[in-house]
Amino acid sequence: MTDHSSLDPRTPVLVGVGQASDRVDDPGYRQLSAVGLAAEAARAALADTAADPAALGAAIDTVAGVRQFEISTPGASAPLGRSDNYPRSVAARVGAVPGRAILEVSGGQSPQHLVTELARTIAEGRSEVALAFGSEAISTARRLAGAEDAPDFTEHVGGDLEDRGFGLKGLMSRHLASHGLTDAPSQYALFDNARRARLGQSREEYALTMGELFAPFTKVAANNPHAAAPVERSARELATPTERNRPIADPYTRFLVARDQVNQGAAVLLMSVAAARWLGVAQDRWVFLHGHADLRERELMDRADLSAAPASVLAVRHALEVAGRTLDEITTLDLYSCFPIAVSAVCDGLGLAPDDPRGLTLTGGLPFFGGAGNNYSMHAVAETVTRLRAEPGAFGLVGANGGTLSKYSAGIYSTTPTGWRADRSAELQAGIDGWDAPVEALQADGPATVETWTVKHGRNGSRTGVVVGRLEADGRRFVAMTHRDDEEILELLTTGEPVGSRVHVRSFGFGNRVTTTGSRMDELFPPRPAVLRDDYEHVLVRRDGHLLEVTINRPQARNSLHPAANDELDEVFDAYFADPDLWVAILTGAGDKAFSAGNDLVYSASGKPMWVPKNGFAGLTGRRDMTKPVIAAVNGFAMGGGCEIALACHLVVADDTATFALSEVKVGLVAGAGGLVRLPRTVPPTVATEMILTGRRVTATEAHGYGLVNRVVPAGTALEGARELAAEILDGSPTSVRASLQIMNETAGITDTVDAVHHPSPALDELLLSEDGAEGVRAFAEKRRPVWRNR
């Protein structure tokens, strides 16, 4: 018998594991909630110790819950209700009243990470008995949502909760989402397609390779009583698209992706050696954590090689190093298998054959055993512990992946006694964070080559291509989508080898679009002539000589802006800046209630896509070259984006009912259209900070005092006041006005006054050679009014 007598009493050991399932098609289906499944698994873990369950429950001082999908992202729904304190709901069902309750961040790495963290906490003497668990009741929620007799899983539980948040930083971005990368299959498909290109395999060869990788997993799942899809399938069956095995995102069919329709729970009980002894847990139940590591990959667009997962590989290597073992000394393996690349990238890096006789899964893997939300690897740990007890002295590896090959936690287990072993994950992570990253082009334009790609397949037969590529001009990386009607680019992406192919990309306010050639891009997105139209749906325009008056015409929505209104304003200002006969513009809002209430939050809340033109909100707040004056005539509210529009204008005339505010913090947003930058440069910094952080409203008189407003006029006369100001500008040379604005723009970033004064602007030379320059001097000498020609 192994000698445990010399162990430090604080040494952490895993003493109990449990699993639960509740398949909807089984005769004994019980409609268990996520809490119910976790509690059943937790009771099984207590029973697995062969000690007194009541004493064990009473001894638990820490519980840690893995998030369900329904509480893993902002706004996620729980159609049957949920507990507001999941860890304590489960604890109560096993008779535990822990001093500490943890709700872990999202991600498939969280079960192994929690085991490592709780083991460390025990080794440091800050805990004696800890229970970790997780569960999903997704199948039940989908089956019963909306049913008349649907159960209510809502629970309100008291007690402290250490809620660590979603932990989604670096895993999601508005930029990727706006280019169709909103789901795991499409993002993982980018990696697998990059790997196929690196290996030089055809589509058919690679599909069969993925099938051959996962076919042994189905055999394991077929013999697992908790598996969600216990059906053995051949490699060819997995790789061949059929009506049941429909394409999801190239190169994936349905059988090759994680199965989230599951009802499963798993739990692990850890304690100190001292606690195990006084609670009467026999030593043949003890399993030790010999090695561990937690590392994080760079964000998706910052990865040098999209066909590999170097941080995941490094995590496994370091866990083995901490354990003092080689991969050859490992008896059991369970590698996270949400998609083929999650397994093959680790195998590539470790030199591990996909058909290794030890097998790569103990459960059957996420597509077949089930992708139990973030909690899959808790099942892997449970299976590992059970196998190692049956083979004392053997070692097992669990590799847990989270995000999109983003976070990796690895654990090495054995019944062989060992004290707590520290790791160097923080040191290694610092190195990873310093790895070289490609430069990204958020707005990409011009010829490019495909680096990797996928085509997303909708249930209705729709197809959308997503391309990650490199610009030919400078090698910057970009992401782009295909146009919905572009069969030409879809043909390129769905046949042969797209990687390395030449394509053309163009940026728009709604994102980057990719097609085959520049001429094809012009067919799909015909260039918009920079001329004023006779009518617009959301905007009114009026020409008066050299003056253009633009009115936001959405009074029913307080002149708030949605994409269509923004697009029209962008078009109008394109025409204004291109027309040599238009010298000054005024922007105002229809009615007397609001200049603009900013972003149309009602439209935004509808779930429709929100975007602004490349030139910014209202076509003014972005990078537009503002070399002709724009006056804001503010009548009523200039809130949020409306205030940002006013800040982007050169001059502001406000009637005395006007109110200005950057109110975004009141609705959980930020003034990202320039308000955070322009306001502190316009008003005193302390005033700007208060307005930004509190959403404080300021009156027209206050705004005038702060320098935000040029002139305050009586109520209802903002437009007339703006016309008077425009007339004063029109009295001067439009060429001089334009040159003045250009030089002001050019020198805005020069901090040294003398350097700014001596800035060599080409506008000065252009003015010297202009007709207006000569006319102004000549008219002055002749004592007459000049006749400006704007040239």
Tokens encoding 102? 């943890």
pTM of the model: 0.91
Give per-residue pLDDT as tens, 62-92. 999 999 999 988 888 899 999 999 999 999 9
Element holding 651 (H helix, E strand): strand 651-655
The CATH number fitting domain 446-524, selected from 2.60.90.10, 3.90.380.10, 2.40.50.840, 3.30.1360.200: 2.40.50.840
For 218, 367, 456, 741, the CA distances from 370, given in Å and listed in that order, are 11, 6, 22, 63
Average pLDDT over residues 336-346: 98
- The dihedral through the CA atoms of 165, 169, 174, 178 has a sign that is negative
Give per-residue pLDDT as tens, 191-216. 999 999 999 999 999 999 999 999 99
Band of residue 223 on the pLDDT scale cut at 50, 70, 90: very high
Say if residue 145's pLDDT is above 80. yes
- Nearest Cα residue to 103 out of 74, 78, 83: 83
Q: Scan for tokens 């999202």, then name that residue.
A: 106
Residue 762 CB coordination number (10 Å):
11
Position 128: which residue type? E
Q: β-strand 62-65 against 129-137: which pairing, if any? A: parallel
Residues 727, 583: contact at Cβ < 8 Å?
no
Predicted confidence at residue 759, as pLDDT, reads: 83
Average pLDDT over residues 766-786: 77
Position 697: which residue type? R
Residue 717 dihedral angles phi and psi, to the nearest 5°: -120, 20
Say which CATH topology domain 12-175+256-433 has: Peroxisomal Thiolase; Chain A, domain 1 (3.40.47)
Q: Scan for tokens 């060869």, then name that residue.
A: 205
Give per-residue pLDDT as tens, 344-398. 999 999 999 999 999 999 999 999 999 988 999 999 999 999 999 999 999 999 9
According to DSSP, residue 284 is labeled G
According to DSSP, residue 341 is labeled H
Predicted confidence at residue 772, as pLDDT, reads: 73
Say if residue 172's pLDDT is above 60. yes
For 114, 567, 654, 666, 735, the CA distances from 292, given in Å and listed in that order, are 11, 53, 64, 43, 69
Measured between alpha carbons, how far is 535 from 662 in angstroms, rounded to an integer?
Answer: 31
Give per-residue pLDDT as tens, 114-130. 999 999 999 999 999 99
Q: Scan for tokens 């590799």, then name that residue.
A: 399
Position 753: which residue type? T
605 or 90, which is more confident: 90
Q: Helix 86-93 vs helix 34-48: angle between axes, to the nearest 10 degrees? A: 50
Residues 687, 706: contact at Cβ < 8 Å?
yes
Give per-residue pLDDT as tens, 243-280. 999 999 999 999 999 999 999 999 999 999 999 999 99
Band of residue 785 on the pLDDT scale cut at 50, 70, 90: confident
Say if residue 601's pLDDT is above 90. no
> What does the mean pLDDT of the chain come to?
94
Band of residue 53 on the pLDDT scale cut at 50, 70, 90: very high
Average pLDDT over residues 583-602: 92
Predicted confidence at residue 5, as pLDDT, reads: 73
Burial, 771: exposed, middle or buried (Cβ in 10 Å; 0-12, 13-18, 19+)? middle
Measured between alpha carbons, how far is 119 from 291 in angstroms, rounded to an integer?
Answer: 11
Residues 6 or more apart whose CB falls under 8 angstroms from that of 99 comprise 61, 62
Tokens encoding 338? 């949400």
Measured between alpha carbons, how far is 280 from 59 in angstroms, rounded to an integer?
Answer: 12
Say if residue 627's pLDDT is above 70. yes
Say which CATH topology domain 539-730 has: 2-enoyl-CoA Hydratase; Chain A, domain 1 (3.90.226)
For 563, 598, 622, 654, 700, the CA distances from 637, given in Å and listed in that order, are 20, 9, 22, 10, 10
Domain ranges of the chain: 12-175+256-433, 446-524, 539-730, 734-782
Q: Helix 675-682 vs helix 685-694: angle between axes, to the nearest 10 degrees? A: 150
With H, G, I as helix, E, B as strand and everything else as coil, classify residue 210: helix
**What length does the chain have?**
791
Residue 215 CB coordination number (10 Å):
19
Predicted confidence at residue 1, as pLDDT, reads: 53
- Nearest Cα residue to 71 out of 151, 137, 18, 150: 137
What secondary structure, in 3-state letters, does 17-76 show? EEEEECCCCCCCCCCCCHHHHHHHHHHHHHHHCCCCHHHHHHHCCEEEECCCHHHCCCCC
For the ranges 3-12, 100-109, 132-141, the lowest mean pLDDT is seen at 3-12
Position 50: which residue type? A
Q: Which residues are catalytic?
A: 644, 664
Residue 783 CB coordination number (10 Å):
6
Position 164: which residue type? R
Average pLDDT over residues 148-153: 92
Measured between alpha carbons, how far is 476 from 56 in angstroms, rounded to an integer?
Answer: 58
Residue 15 dihedral angles phi and psi, to the nearest 5°: -120, -15
Measured between alpha carbons, how far is 231 from 102 in angstroms, rounded to an integer?
Answer: 36
- Nearest Cα residue to 785 out of 721, 711, 731, 742: 731
CA atoms within 13 A on the CB side of 297: 29
Measured between alpha carbons, how far is 25 from 31 in angstroms, rounded to an integer?
Answer: 11
Element holding 645 (H helix, E strand): helix 641-648
Average pLDDT over residues 47-68: 97
Band of residue 754 on the pLDDT scale cut at 50, 70, 90: confident
Tokens encoding 295? 């590392």
